[in-house]
Amino acid sequence: MSLIGALRNFFSKLAGESDTVTQPWWLQIITDQPTCIYYFGPFASPQEAQRHQAGYIDDLSAEGARVFPPTLVQGNPPELTIEGETAKQRLTQIDSVSALQLR
């Protein structure tokens, strides 16, 4: 998100407005072997994202990746695919990673 976008979002929230209706939904899927964070989307609604998640999980599993349960996130991801050491660093920032169960 750009600085202008961040400021607009901040002031909108102060004014009681919300842009969450216009922000797209993405599926965040984390894999091990290889360690990656994938973002699939954008989707107009959580329901649309959930309808598509099985296909993404099946594709990643067919490639031999161990797949954690997907997470639904709103807003644009920093990148669509985050790999290797960068993915490992980002995962240490996610509090719930240790609680994730492998599919």
Position 95 pLDDT exceeds 70:
no
Q: How far apart are CA 28 and CA 53, in angstroms?
A: 10
CA-based diameter of the chain, in Å? 48
Question: For residue 16, which amino acid is it?
Answer: G
Alpha-carbon distance 61 to 54, whole Å? 10
Q: Which residue has tokens 């939904």?
A: 25
Least trusted range by pLDDT, from 14-23, 46-55, 81-90: 14-23
Residue 91's pLDDT is what? 85
pTM, to two decimals: 0.70
Contact in structure between 102 and 68 (CB atoms under 8 Å):
yes
Q: How confident is the model at residue 102 (pLDDT cuts 50, 70, 90)?
A: very low
Reply yes or no on whether the pLDDT at 43 is more than 90.
yes
| Neighbouring C-alpha atoms within 13 Å toward the C-beta of 88 | 6
